[in-house]
């Protein structure tokens, strides 16, 4: 294939969407990483040619900045087929429940492209949207909003491993302070996004809620992360209020048969066994990880589930039940 065409395709992929922009020098560096040896003069000429056929923008800054127009359609080669377009439609409905608008808006061009593909197949996206719903049995909390430029800076810091200076509004300290942080990872828990990082001149790992970051900007300096840091281990130890022990427990509980019926088709574990006890109760035995999610799931059935084993979990639920009885006691 013609090398000029390949280079121009690569340039189109490297261009960001407005309001972000990139310079000719940055494009040349990006093309070099992809194996294209070229000059700034050639890149400038290619950009001017491509701008005649594609919705590209340039400014009068020095160096000159280039970008796709904010409303430019998302190009996909090959185009979405029926299955992938439907997948994007379902993903949009699901992500709407857990991601703030500032994050979802970045994905809108892909959702729009999927909608155009469905329309081309004779299936208007708006009509299909009325036929699809994504629901959850858990209580859905509205995702807090994250400032768009803060999100962009956080993503950039993770991709390029840069330090950040952030203005953070701490809920516990009830104060707004500036910090230099060394980003490590991003964790989304239900509807809240967290930046896992260490603070400058400290070694302990902490996490900051993105919606509480009021300002963020990159700073010079070598990013530090603890030796041997493991993100899964950090989460598993309960850092986000999520207990995820690697140990497996032998769980046994009684459940009202009307609720237990769904476990036949969607078992909790591969070794699950069920025994009809009569009188509207079913006994379930299964090996499962010792997690917070397990406890939340069991508690969600209230008096329609009775934990029978292991003894440690029975004691835990008995203590909770006793405390609840005190809270709900009727004073005569």
pLDDT in tens, 225-281: 888 888 888 887 777 766 666 678 899 999 999 888 888 888 988 899 999 998 999
User: Coil, helix or strand for 118?
Assistant: helix
Residue 182's pLDDT band, with cuts at 50, 70 and 90, is: very high
User: Coil, helix or strand for 98?
Assistant: helix
Q: What pLDDT score was predicted for residue 274?
A: 93
Residue 285's pLDDT band, with cuts at 50, 70 and 90, is: very high
State the Cα–Cα distance between residues 253 and 113, nearest whole angstrom.
48
- 6-10, 77-81, 87-91, 299-303: which range is least confident on average? 77-81
Sign of CA dihedral 101, 104, 109, 113: negative
State the Cα–Cα distance between residues 180 and 200, nearest whole angstrom.
5
Q: What pLDDT score was predicted for residue 253?
A: 94
| Strand residues in the chain grouped as ranges (E) | 22-23, 56-58, 65-68, 163-170, 175-189, 192-199, 205-209, 213-219, 244-256, 273-278, 281-291, 305-309
Q: What pLDDT score was predicted for residue 332?
A: 42
Q: What crossing angle do the helices spanning 101-120 and 82-98 adopt, rounded to 10°? A: 160
Q: Which residue has the higher pLDDT, 313 or 246?
A: 313
Residue 6's pLDDT band, with cuts at 50, 70 and 90, is: confident
Measured between alpha carbons, how far apart are the two ends of the chain, in Å? 87
Q: What pLDDT score was predicted for residue 286?
A: 93
Q: Which residue has the higher pLDDT, 145 or 195?
A: 195
Q: Which residue has the higher pLDDT, 282 or 105?
A: 282
Looking at residue 212, what DSSP letter applies? Answer: G
User: Coil, helix or strand for 173?
Assistant: coil
Averaged pLDDT score across all residues of the chain:
83
Q: What pLDDT score was predicted for residue 227?
A: 84
Residue 165's pLDDT band, with cuts at 50, 70 and 90, is: very high
Go through the domains of the chain in sequence order and give each one's CATH number. 3-68 (1.10.10.10), 148-236 (2.30.30), 244-327 (3.30.70)
DSSP character string of 261-324: THHHHS-SSTT-EEEEEETTEEEEEEEEEEEHHHHHHHHTTGGGEEEEE-HHHHHHHHHHHHHH
pTM for the complete prediction? 0.62
């Amino acid at each position: 294939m013609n090398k000029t065409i390949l280079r121009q395709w690569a340039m189109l992929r490297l261009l960001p969407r407005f309001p972000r922009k990139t310079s000719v020098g940055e494009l040349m560096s990006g093309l070099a990483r992809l194996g294209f040896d070229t000059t700034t003069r050639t890149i400038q000429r290619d950009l001017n040619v491509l701008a005649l056929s594609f919705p590209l923008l340039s400014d009068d800054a020095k160096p000159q900045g280039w970008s796709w127009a904010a409303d430019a359609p998302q190009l996909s080669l090959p185009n979405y087929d029926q299955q992938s377009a439907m997948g994007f439609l379902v993903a949009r409905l699901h992500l709407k429940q857990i991601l703030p608008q500032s994050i979802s808006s970045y994905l809108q061009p892909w959702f729009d492209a999927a909608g155009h593909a469905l329309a081309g197949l004779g299936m208007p996206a708006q009509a299909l949207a009325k036929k699809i719903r994504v629901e959850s049995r858990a209580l859905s909390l509205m995702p807090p909003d994250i400032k768009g430029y803060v999100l962009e800076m956080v993503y950039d810091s993770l991709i390029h491993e840069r330090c950040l200076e952030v203005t953070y509004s701490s809920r516990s300290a009830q104060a707004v302070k500036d910090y230099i942080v060394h980003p490590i990872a991003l964790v989304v828990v239900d509807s809240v996004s967290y930046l896992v990082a260490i603070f400058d001149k400290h070694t302990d790992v902490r996490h900051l809620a993105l919606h509480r970051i009021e300002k963020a900007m990159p700073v010079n300096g070598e990013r530090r992360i603890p030796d041997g840091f493991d993100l899964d281990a950090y989460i598993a130890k309960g850092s986000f209020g999520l207990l995820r022990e690697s140990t497996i427990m032998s769980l046994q509980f009684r459940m009202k048969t009307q609720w237990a019926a769904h476990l036949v088709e969607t078992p909790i574990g591969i070794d699950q066994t069920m025994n009809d006890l009569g009188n509207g109760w079913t006994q379930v035995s299964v090996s499962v990880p010792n997690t917070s999610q397990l406890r939340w799931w069991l508690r969600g059935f209230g008096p329609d589930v009775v934990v029978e084993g292991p003894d440690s979990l029975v004691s835990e639920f008995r203590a909770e039940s006793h405390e609840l009885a005190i809270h709900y006691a009727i004073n005569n």
